[in-house]
Structure 1
Amino acid sequence: MNIPFLDLKAQYKSIKDEVNPAIQDVLDNTAYVMGKAVADFEAAFAFEHGVKHCLGTSSGTDGNHMVLWGLGVGSGDEVIIPANTFIATAWGATLCGATPVFVDCDPISYNIDPSKVEEAITSRTKAIVAVHLYGQPADMDALQAIATKHGIHLIEDCAQAHLAEYKNKRVGGFGRAASFSFYPGKNLGAYGEAGAVTTTDDDLAKKFRMIRDHGTLTKYNHEIYGHNYRMEGIQGAVLGVKLKHLNTWTEGRRRVASRYCEMLSGLDELMLPTEVSDRRHVYHLFVVQAPLRRDDLVKYLNEKGIATGLHYPVPLHMQPCFSHLNYDRGVMPVAEQLAENGLSLPMYPELTDEQLTYISNNIRHFFMK
């Protein structure tokens, strides 16, 4: 049996009769950039996340940049970011000319550790980025208390957390603003690059709209510096169709995670993820830890036709591009442990019980050898 890490073909086949006409409508109306399909998606996505404004962007990375840019982050500023995340989180700071300040993550949720955040704040700190990693929300109450105490911005990176909930409220509306990614492999994925920014702040939303479209609200009247971060019409159409299925797909991911936890429990050499009690995990990734034989397990599963992933094998503070920040190995033990031991198992709602049984049985067999 061959099991891919992600099966986008299965997803496309399930919705092709809906998505193909939506794409064709964009083509027929030649609404290639922004347009009605994007506007309709923005309204629907904002409603799903309980926020006032959603602005479609050209990618999640662009959304990261746009949020910090719109908040006035610039040269000489510092932005606190978890060491355990994809590097696009850090680009939001560096593209503004700011310095990313990395902190360790919590060993249970794998998200940014609030106690480490407070230690990292200086007079130059302008913002904290809460990444809802793997699909589980960060501790927003603790982070908001720190941000309020020090008078700094709290923003959310929701790239992996569409429809995730913290204390029965969906992510995307806790901080000043939030960014989302719709990269094809995300829980809600476009057919190419796309992202979004959400906020409940009218003034910020206005500024984001100008930044997204060359600093304009009306054509050729450039009020502020801007860029071209607009969403393509086809991506808006695709996302509008897929959003209608996202709640069902999310429940499918949670079913897969539950089955993994049932079938892999009791293995002393395998650490399963923990869903924190006041949060609703949407399982963009299902990350286990195999401290003693991670690489051997990867090789064994590959031989059995089971694809896996490593998220993320080099934490941000150890990336070559940040060597000038002079972080030493060992200063962020939790993130470094996850980099060395973490393993992402196949995770998508179309996984069948037969496939899950095959994966789990092979993992059990490996550890019982």
Structure 2
Amino acid sequence: MIPLFDYQRQWRERQSEIMDTIQRVLNSGQLILGAEGRAFEGAMANLIGMDHAVGVNSGTDALVLALRVLGVKPGDGVITVPNTAVPTAAAIRLCGARPVFVDVEPDTLLMDVEQLKKLNTQGCKAIIPVHLHGLMVDMDPLLAFARARGLAVIEDCAQALGSFYKGRPAGSFGAISCFSFYPTKNLGAYGDGGLCTTRDAGLAKALRQQRMYGFDETPIAQVDGLNSRLDELQAGILNLKLKYFDADMQKRQSLAQRYLEKLDGRRLQLPTRPAGRTHSWHIFAVRSPFRQELKEKLAARDIITGVHYATPLHRMPAYQDLGYEAGDLPVAEKAAAELLSLPLFPEFTHEEQDKVIDTLHEALPR
């Protein structure tokens, strides 16, 4: 069986180091908000080139806390895209705010600034560009749009650690940027984990206050807060994995390049890579109107594939009250019916990849 993702391969390779890390954390006597978390926050701030990083419980909570400290209130509109994971919209709802969806570009499937210009942004407080699959949104025009309308920018970088736009890393553009360390991510924990980055010391302080019940330096709640802390075990594991991050990214780049070269010319729409952007290949998603047929042929050869995301958010029952209809966001809707995610992770072998490629060649002659 060729999996879409397999954390156990990495676990077997690094088991001794990981167990040493777990033992060190357990022997420290500090399981929450200790030295491991502080070290990881510092390392992530350096990696992204930001002044502050704040570890939290999950990528979802990172978005919730970012929205809260940026002043998003019940009834406010928050602009985002429909072709993203549910947590992007769920975080908006958890703040009592209203998701406002905008369609995406036909080639990149990222937030379309030209479509943004057609939106009525009255009542909107923030905008969440989602860097999809490892490719960053065209940030210069998006930031100009946001500045002109007084919108706070929150980068959703859950799929984009290791991505770059004009030489700057994902997470270095937003007032606050949000990361997930769900196990499948480019830097994955062995459970949930998240992080916010910012240049603003005041926002960083507010984020730390929010993640700890609204406490200040004393255990007295100054504001309504949450319990959302990155625990020391996950922080320790992530610290360990950071030393392998560059090598793992090189493997992703190499595997993606093999797909691009060996699948070129087939009746398959391959991922695009606009000039000035470095793809981090969290997901290698191809497009075909014959997705289900391809998925079944690959499955018959014991190759597991995925679909990210089969139903756009505006077509899900939870968001029907927003009033969107089928056809309102046609680019995202069409892509949702065609995208197929192929196996790609650092431990994926060339032999396995060749089996995937050969199966697609058989299914898709020139």
Taking structure 2 as the reference length, the TM-score comes to 0.98
Report what 2:238 is aligned to. 239
Contact 1:48-1:163 within 8 A present in 2 as well: no
Tell me how far apart the structure 1 counterparts of residues 162 and 280 of structure 2 sit (CA, whole Å): 7
Q: Does 1:355 align with 2:352?
A: yes
Tell me how far apart the structure 2 counterparts of residues 130 and 12 of structure 1 sit (CA, whole Å): 33
Report what 1:281 is aligned to. 279
Alignment of 1:321-332 (within 5 A): 321-332=318-329
Measure how far apart 1:22 and its partner are. 1.0
Report what 2:337 is aligned to. 340
Alignment of 1:183-222 (within 5 A): 183-222=182-221
The size of the alignment, in residue pairs, is: 366
Alignment of 1:1-369 (within 5 A): 2-268=1-267, 270-291=268-289, 293-368=290-365
Measure how far apart 1:318 and its partner are. 0.5
Contact 2:80-2:99 within 8 A present in 1 as well: yes
Report the AA paired with residue 45 of structure 1: M
Measure how far apart 1:331 and its partner are. 1.4
SS in 1 for 2:117: helix
Tell me how far apart the structure 2 counterparts of residues 320 and 3 of structure 1 sit (CA, whole Å): 33
Measure how far apart 1:121 and its partner are. 3.6
Tell me how far apart the structure 2 counterparts of residues 38 and 4 of structure 1 sit (CA, whole Å): 31
SS in 1 for 2:128: strand
Tell me how far apart the structure 1 counterparts of residues 12 and 150 of structure 2 sit (CA, whole Å): 49
Tell me how far apart the structure 1 counterparts of residues 79 and 95 of structure 2 sit (CA, whole Å): 14
Deviations 1:303-339 (A, max 9, x none): 1010000000000110110111111111111111111
Contact 2:266-2:365 within 8 A present in 1 as well: no
Unaligned runs of 5+ in 2: none
User: C-alpha root-mean-square deviation of aligned residues, in Å?
Assistant: 1.1
Tell me how far apart the structure 2 counterparts of residues 206 and 12 of structure 1 sit (CA, whole Å): 35
Identity of aligned residues (%): 40
Report the AA paired with residue 186 of structure 2: N
Deviations 1:115-162 (A, max 9, x none): 112222422010110111101111110110001111111110000011
SS in 1 for 2:197: strand
Tell me how far apart the structure 2 counterparts of residues 368 and 171 of structure 1 sit (CA, whole Å): 37
SS in 1 for 2:125: strand
Report the AA paired with residue 324 of structure 2: Y
Measure how far apart 1:276 and its partner are. 1.3
Measure how far apart 1:107 and its partner are. 1.4
Contact 2:307-2:339 within 8 A present in 1 as well: yes
Report the AA paired with residue 211 of structure 1: Q
Deviations 1:85-133 (A, max 9, x none): 0010112211111000011111122111111122224220101101111
Taking structure 1 as the reference length, the TM-score comes to 0.97
Unaligned runs of 5+ in 1: none
Contact 1:105-1:113 within 8 A present in 2 as well: yes
SS in 1 for 2:153: strand
Tell me how far apart the structure 2 counterparts of residues 304 and 261 of structure 1 sit (CA, whole Å): 21
Measure how far apart 1:44 and its partner are. 0.4
Tell me how far apart the structure 1 counterparts of residues 253 and 229 of structure 2 sit (CA, whole Å): 32
Runs of 4+, deviation exceeding 2 Å: none
Tell me how far apart the structure 2 counterparts of residues 311 and 82 of structure 1 sit (CA, whole Å): 14
Contact 2:41-2:54 within 8 A present in 1 as well: yes
Deviations 1:253-280 (A, max 9, x none): 1111100011111112x10001111111
Tell me how far apart the structure 1 counterparts of residues 56 and 189 of structure 2 sit (CA, whole Å): 12
Tell me how far apart the structure 2 counterparts of residues 35 and 118 of structure 1 sit (CA, whole Å): 45
SS in 2 for 1:368: coil
Tell me how far apart the structure 2 counterparts of residues 121 and 196 of structure 1 sit (CA, whole Å): 31
Report the AA paired with residue 134 of structure 1: H
Tell me how far apart the structure 2 counterparts of residues 164 and 340 of structure 1 sit (CA, whole Å): 26
Measure how far apart 1:17 and its partner are. 2.4
Tell me how far apart the structure 1 counterparts of residues 73 and 351 of structure 2 sit (CA, whole Å): 52
